[in-house]
Each structure stands twice: as C-alpha cells, then as structure tokens.
Structure 1
Amino acid sequence: MESREKRAKMMGEADVRKVLTKLAIPGIIAMLINAIYNIVDTMFVGMLNNTSAIAAVSVVFPMFMLIAAIGQMFGVGAGSYISRLLGEKNKEQADKTTTTTFITSIIFSLAFTVFGLIFLQPLLRAFGATDTIMLFAEDYARILIIGSIFTIANMVLNNMIRAEGNAKFSMIAISIGALANIALDPILMFGFDMGIKGAALATVLGQGLSFLYLINYFVSGKSFIKINKKYFAPSKPMYSEILKIGSATFARQALASLSLGLINVAARPYGDAAVASMGVSLRVFSLGVYVVFGYNQGFQPIAGYNYGAKKYSRLFEAIKISLRTTTTFTTIMTVVFMIFATPIISVFTNDPDVVTIGSRTLRVISILFPLFGFQQVYASLFQSLGKGKEAFLLSASRQGIFLIPAILILPKFMELDGVIFSQVVADFFTIIVTYILSRKLLNKLKNEDINLKTS
C-alpha cells in the first residue's frame, strides 16, 4: 500500500521534469505502438496487391475511431476527475468513479455493437465506401464491431490507470495487444488464408489480450484505485464531472471520425487510389500525432493533480516544459515528412497513383505540424483542469468546426487539392483559437496563484 500511495503522491512532490518524463515515456511508447500496428495492418493489407482492399481499411478507420470515441469519452473524462480527486485526497470518491465508469462503459459498448451491426452498410457508405470497396470493408468492419467491447474497455482502464500515476503498466498492456496484433496479422491473413478478415481478427484478439492483462491489475489488488461492485454508485454529479471533460474528447474523436469519412467521400470521385492514398498518408502522419498524444497522457495527470492540490508553480513549470518538448518534436517530424514522403508512402503500395497522391498529402498536412504540440498541450490542460467548455471548443475546432467546412467547400474550387489542403486550413484557424484561450487561462491561473499566496 505504501508504494501505491507514493505513486499517487509522486505527481505533486517529485521534480516536475522527471515526473513528466516518467509518465510521458510510457504513454509515448504505448501510443507509438498503437500507431505502428495500425500502419502494419495497412502494410499487410497492401500485400494483397489490391488497391480496393487498402481503401477499405481507410473507409473502416473512421468507424474504428467512432468506437474509440466512446472509450475515450469515459476514459479521459474519468481519468481527469480521478486525478483531481486524488489530488484532493478523496480516494473513496475516486474508487466509486473508477467502478461506475467501467460498468457504464461496458453497457455502452454492447449497445454500440448492436447499433453498428444493424447499420453497417449505411455507415460504410457514409464513410466513403464505393461498390468495389464495400465487399472488403464489410468483412473488415464487422469483426472490429463485434470486438469493440475490448477496445472501449481498454481505453477506459488505461486512462484510469494513468490517472493514478502508473503509466508504465498501461504501456505494457497496450504493447501486449499491439505486438499480438502484429504477430497474428501474417498468420491469420496468409497462413489461414483469411485475407482482410484476418487483419480484423488479429486486431480484436490483440485487444482481448490487453483487456485480460488490464482487468487482472484491478482484480488482483495491484491498483491503488479499485473496481468493486460495492463501489458502483452512479449519480448525476459524478456523470456530470466525467462527461464535462469526456464529452469534449468524444466530440474530438467523433468529429475526427466524421471528418475522415467526409475526406473519403470527397476523394471518392477521384477513384479508389485517391481514397487509399488519403488513408495511408493520414496513418503515417499519425506517428507524429500519437507521440504528442502519448506525451500529453503523462502531462495531463500531473496538471490535474497539481491544480487540485493548488500547487500552481508546479503546474506552470509542467506547461512550460511540455510546450518546449512537443514543439521540438513536431518540428523534427515535419522535416522528416517533407523530405522522405515519397519513399515512406512507397512502403505501403506499388500503385503509382497512390504513391503520388499520398506523398503530396503527407507533405501538405505537415505544413503547420510544428504548432501541433501547442494546440494539444492546451487542449489537454483544459481537460485536466475540468474546464469542459474550452476543452470542447478546442477539440471541436481542429476536427469539426473548421475542418468540416473546409472539406465541403475547398474541393469545389480546388478539386482533389481541396481535399488535401483542408486539414491545413483547419489547423491555421485552430491555432488562432488556441492562442486566445491559452492567454485567458494563464491569466486566470496567475490570478488564482496570487490570491492563494496573499490569503
């Protein structure tokens, strides 16, 4: 018990840079592995030498993001609330939140499975499936939907484990599932001749292994926060705390899903190669995006804990370090994507049209990536501090408020280039909104710090 309490208190006492490193590195590794096995899935599907099959993976990806949106809604919302409760030394409420969130997420996952299977074809059409893509997309999506309970539960459990400060365990759990997926892909796809169905089944089996590892952490008593039926205590105030942050995360993920679907639909008139190239380039780009997300998984509990404990100097230091670190990384990745776009895309396919369109897309969407860390650090900060309205606005801006109109308008004037440049336009306006909100927040936090010191 002593070591668990030390782990829970670490975020408010140890050197900020060291704590950030300790919590961020496992998150980065876990998210990178997630990005890599998504990419590996695409690589193995590319070995089928069928552009429509690669395009099917692109079409189903928005649906997978929709599944993830449910998990992130409960996971991030509960994680933010739990980290603040631990900072306030309110462990009993943290245990109730942990148990209630887990059970509620399972109920939602079952409901989504039924919904997804009933409306599978209309959803795939909405996400950009053509007649030639549909056959592959149905096979791939149906298996992922059936296994969505593992995807959602894993996201909830991982976020709650990180909230108590055990990012390393979360990393191991994600790694187990991802490595199992990578190992099973060639076995099921080619050894058992399952094709694209094998890629989907490998993903579900990997997620299932992760779930067993995660739930054992709570059942065996290793966790600081607890899952136990005696702590199941749903209440309006609890759900309000979870959803005021979780809804912003859901909005970001759901809008990202919708936006990717609209990108596929906008690319559809230019052929299956255009749809496939969008999916490949965006998955490659996700390597950089997921590293920033992983870093912020370490930043978020530190920010939430120290805000709850009213340790403002530590909060300011964490913000400063995080901005520098993420900006340095995103700048380096921008240079890599710009220089090596063509050889990177060529790894996935030998279709010259996919390579040409995909490499151009990768370069264009990287233009404003150096400022992506700035966007995401403040988006995570608003989540950590329980400021749902601002978190929602930032989450909705990049993937919805600005991106969706760009996708709908630009292709009318620029054709396929309009699809390619839509994310850059959205990023530009999101940066402006982030700057305005960040200035207001920092001024407010500084005033709170001054009032605390003078009281």
Structure 2
Amino acid sequence: MMAVSSTELGTLPIRELLIKQSVPASIGILFMSVNILIDTIFVGQWIGSLAIAAVSVVLPITFLISSLGMALGIGGSSIISRALGAENREKALQTFGNQIVLTLGLAILAVLIGLLYSEEVLLLFGANGEIMQPAMDFFIPVLYGVPFLALCMMGNTVIRAEGKPKFAMIAMIIPAFGNIILDVIFIKFLNLGMFGAALATSLSYFMCFVFIFWFFIFKSELRLQMHHYVLQINIVSEIASLGFVTFARQGVVAILSIILNHTLYIHGGEISVAIYGIISRMLMFALFPILGVTQGFLPVAGYNYGAKNYVRVNETISKSIKWAAGLATIIFIVILVLAEPIVAIFSKDATIIKETPSALRLVFAASPIIAIQLIGAAYFQAAGKAIPALLLTLTKQGFFLIPLILVLPNYYGIFGVWIAFPIADILSTLVTGFFLKREMNRKLTYVQDGI
C-alpha cells in the first residue's frame, strides 16, 4: 500500500485517503489486539484463570502511564497535521521535538512512582485476595518497559500525521509478533510464569521503540535540530490542552478499572474479575476496524481543517461514520453468534465458560452505534477544539458508565455491571451525535459558504 505524503492529505479523494490511512491503522491495531488476546490465552491456558485476573489489574496501570505518550502524541499530532496543512513546517518540527522531551520525562517520573508504591497501586486497582502475588510478579518487570511503550505511542501518532500510515502499521506489528514468540519461549518452554509473560511484554515494547527510532532517523520528513527540543511554553500549552483529552480519557478508564475490579470482586470474587479480563480483551480485539477508521480519520480531518477546506472535513466525517458503523454491525453479529466458542479459547475453567458468553453479548449489545461517538469526539480533537473534545470523549466512561456501575449492581448484582455498558453506549452516542450534527450544520457549513 502506497504511503500518503502530508500534502496529499489535502488533494486526494477522501475515500482513497481514508482507505490509505485507516487500513494500515486497522491492521496495526489488529496485531496489537491479537498480541494482547493471545497473551491472555497463553496466560489463561498455561498459568491459570487467576493469572488472567492479575493481568486485568496490571494492564490498566501500565496503559495509564504509557498513555502519557499517547496523549502527547495525539495532542501534538493534531498541531502537526494543522501546521503542515497551513504550510508552517517550523511549528511542526518544534512540536515534535517538544513531544519527545515531554514524553520521556513524564514516563520516567511515572515509572519511578510506580516502583516506589507498587503494592499500594496494585491494591488500588483491585489486586484483592489471591490476585496480588501474580499481579506483583507481572507488574514490576512490565514497568521497566513502559517508557519505551510511551515513546512508541507518541511516535506512532506522529508517523500518521506525516501521512505515512504503512510505517505506523509496521510499528504496531513488530511488538505483536515479538511478544507472542517470547511468550512461548518464556512461559511454555522456560516455565517462567508471570515473570516470563512480563519479560516478553517489556522486550516487545523495546522492539517497537527500535523501529520507531529508525523511522525518524531515516524516513521521516521531520528532521529535528537541537533547538527543536527546547520546550516552548505556547507549544507545550497547546499540546497539553489537546493531549489532556486523551490522557483524561485514559485516566477515566483507569478509574473505571478500579471501580470495576472492586465491584466485580465484591459481587463475584476472582472469577468475575477474570471474566471481565476476557471481555476487555475482546473489546480491544473486536473493535479494531472501528478504531482503525478513527485513527485514519484524525490526520485527514486535521489537515483539511488546518487548510480551511471544510467541504472535505464534512465529507471525511460522513464517510468515516458510515464505514465504522457498518464494520461495528458485522462485529456485533459475530459476537452474538460465536460467543461460546470464543470464550472456550481463553480458559478451561467451567464457571468462566458458563458465565462469560452472556456477559460478552450484553457488553457488545450497542456496538453498532458507537461509531458516532468515536468519530464525533475525534473530530473536535482533530480540529483543535480541546474542551468539547474532552467532554465528548469522557461521556461514555466518565459521565455514564462509572455512575451506572456504582448504582446498578446494588440492585441487579453482576448483571448490573454488564448491562451498564450498552446503556452508556446509547447515552453517549446520543449526546455526541447532537453536538456533531450541530457542528456540521452550523459551524462547518457557515464557514465554507462564506456567510
């Protein structure tokens, strides 16, 4: 698949651009999701269902730390896309240099805090009872690889902002293959248990970092000089305001994980935590094409918004929602039909095999409509509108799902946890759809018509 140069984001047909941007992004997310999925299968089959619960506790912590890189990457990439669209190359370079410094500094600080307060952090995130020991075995080695993961997440979004999604895809594929191979070696053959799983994960992050580093040295349009690494208050402020949307979302996801793990443990013990571990992996895996369309949407919308080509922005929004909604519907049908055999892949535990399929179907029940929420929030981020992007991004997990999980299980037990997911999807889609429609009808149309 041919790469797209930054200038072509403003000239090629929207359909062609979305395909060139979204397909590699989807493939990359697919491999990343398959990596996490297979990792969970290996852990469940070779170590036990308790290990799945332990991984479910640890991963939200590491993702929260590494999401610093994702947040700075997406926030900075929005600036880079619009700067390239406005032919302001120096601002794009200064932004990228500042992204690198901020990502590395904040990731190392977060890892040090995690190492100093590891037990307290694990307890906070739900490492209750017998979950604590395997969680600790997994947590510490993974922490050492998190700075590399943060730099990879930041660099990946910049690669897409340059219009080179093929390289971004490769960057996501490399750690997936590396982790799967190392899992087999460390868990199956060397019998290193949770430590082996963690070691494989950290080394796979480093592999990704090596490729990202190579790209920016030899393939990138962004050739940095030393002065680009000097932090500029105005650029740092803009990166932070836009990146805070992503970090706030991940922060809310972390809070959600804390509430979920404690609620599940109270109402169903370690087994319920393990069941959600399987469901959360399926959420990451099954929704990969919708997330890929969203990732492909961002640089196209951001570049054309920066170039003030609002007709193309409108077209990008419409096509992205239609494609993502169609893919989400197909995914929902597959989950509906194949829930039982899917669950059986993860565990031999009879209770998990019996209880997980119905919960899986409930969690995915409203997935056909989530495209509106994802693309809607992404538009405001691509356009550099930090406040509405933040609020719309937080609607599902922050404004609806967390309150529902705090309330419904008190009346309906574990069923209340699972039914909270589709209810939150529906409510957040209605809210986002309203604001996106108003933006398309009033703001974009108003500007492009010159009224």
Q: TM-score range by the shorter chain?
A: over 0.9
Give, in whole Å, the separation in 2 of the partners of 1:108 and 1:227: 21
| 2:432 matched residue in structure 1 | 434
Give, in whole Å, the separation in 2 of the partners of 1:399 and 1:50: 30
Give, in whole Å, the separation in 2 of the partners of 1:345 and 1:8: 43
Give, in whole Å, the separation in 1 of the partners of 2:62 and 2:412: 29
Alpha-carbon contact 1:99-1:226 (below 8 Å) kept: no
Match among 234, 246, 249 for residue 246 of structure 2: 249
Deviation per CA, 1:13-55: give whole Å up to 9, x if none.
0111111101111100011111110011100101235221111
Q: What secondary structure is seen at the aligned counterpart in 1 of 2:5?
A: helix
Displacement, 1:159?
A: 0.6
Deviation per CA, 1:377-436: give whole Å up to 9, x if none.
111111100011111011111111211111111111111111112222221221121122
Task: Give runs of ≥4 in structure 1 deviating > 3 Å.
Answer: none
Q: Does 2:259 align with 1:262?
A: yes
Residue type at the aligned position of 2:55: V
Give, in whole Å, the separation in 2 of the partners of 1:233 and 1:94: 14
Alpha-carbon contact 1:87-1:309 (below 8 Å) kept: yes
Aligned ranges for residues 55-454 of structure 1 at < 5 Å? 55-220=53-218, 222-269=219-266, 270-442=268-440, 443-451=442-450
Deviation per CA, 1:298-336: give whole Å up to 9, x if none.
110000000111111211111111111000000010111
Alpha-carbon contact 1:87-1:305 (below 8 Å) kept: yes
Give, in whole Å, the separation in 1 of the partners of 2:224 and 2:281: 35
Give, in whole Å, the separation in 1 of the partners of 2:223 and 2:258: 38
Alpha-carbon contact 2:79-2:239 (below 8 Å) kept: yes
- Alignment RMSD: 1.4
Alpha-carbon contact 1:217-1:223 (below 8 Å) kept: yes
Deviation per CA, 1:91-147: give whole Å up to 9, x if none.
111011101111110001110110111121122112211221100000111111111
Give, in whole Å, the separation in 2 of the partners of 1:428 and 1:122: 35
Q: What secondary structure is seen at the aligned counterpart in 2 of 1:276?
A: helix
Alpha-carbon contact 1:26-1:167 (below 8 Å) kept: yes
TM-score, with length taken from structure 2: 0.97
Give, in whole Å, the separation in 1 of the partners of 2:145 and 2:364: 33
Give, in whole Å, the separation in 2 of the partners of 1:426 and 1:118: 36
Alpha-carbon contact 1:67-1:151 (below 8 Å) kept: no
Which ranges in structure 2 are unaligned for 5 or more consecutive residues?
none
Displacement, 1:61?
A: 2.1
Give, in whole Å, the separation in 1 of the partners of 2:291 and 2:224: 26
Alpha-carbon contact 1:188-1:198 (below 8 Å) kept: yes
Alpha-carbon contact 2:271-2:352 (below 8 Å) kept: yes
Displacement, 1:191?
A: 1.7
Displacement, 1:356?
A: 2.5
Deviation per CA, 1:69-97: give whole Å up to 9, x if none.
21211011011110000000001110111
TM-score, with length taken from structure 1: 0.96
Alpha-carbon contact 2:332-2:365 (below 8 Å) kept: yes
Give, in whole Å, the separation in 1 of the partners of 2:140 and 2:420: 30
Deviation per CA, 1:282-313: give whole Å up to 9, x if none.
21122233322222111100000001111112
Deviation per CA, 1:185-241: give whole Å up to 9, x if none.
010112222111111111111110110111111123x21113332312312211222
Match among 39, 42, 45 for residue 41 of structure 1: 39
Give, in whole Å, the separation in 2 of the partners of 1:15 and 1:414: 50
Alpha-carbon contact 1:59-1:129 (below 8 Å) kept: yes
Give, in whole Å, the separation in 1 of the partners of 2:385 and 2:354: 43
Alpha-carbon contact 2:45-2:348 (below 8 Å) kept: no
Match among 16, 19, 31 for residue 18 of structure 1: 16
Residue type at the aligned position of 2:308: K
Alpha-carbon contact 1:62-1:258 (below 8 Å) kept: no
Give, in whole Å, the separation in 1 of the partners of 2:177 and 2:225: 30
Equivalenced residue count is 448
Q: What secondary structure is seen at the aligned counterpart in 1 of 2:138?
A: helix
Alpha-carbon contact 2:46-2:187 (below 8 Å) kept: no
Which ranges in structure 1 are unaligned for 5 or more consecutive residues?
none
Deviation per CA, 1:253-274: give whole Å up to 9, x if none.
1111221221111110212111
